[in-house]
Amino acid sequence: MDNTYANRSIHCTVNSCKFHNDKENYCSLESINVQTHEPNPTKVECTDCASFMCKDNCKGCM
């Protein structure tokens, strides 16, 4: 996965994602999908990046 690109419109600190540009703390995708896992989202914790994919070597992911 080439994650050297830094999309400066998508700041991200999720180091375990295979699309994360670790050097610059940006997403390397052109766009992402954001979703909610709640029926009535009211807090930031209610939202998720649906484009997340665990790095091949990350631990603790399913």
Enumerate binding residues for ligand SF4 (CB under 6 A).
Answer: 10, 12, 14, 17, 19-20, 27, 29, 32, 49, 51-52
Which residue's entry shows tokens 């080439």? 2
Nearer to ligand SF4, 9 or 38 (CB): 9
What is the DSSP track for 13-26?
--TTBTTEETTTTE
Residue 24 or 52 with smaller CB distance to ligand SF4: 52
Q: Which is nearer to ligand SF4, 32 or 56 (CB)?
A: 32
CA atoms of 50 and 56, how far apart (whole Å): 17
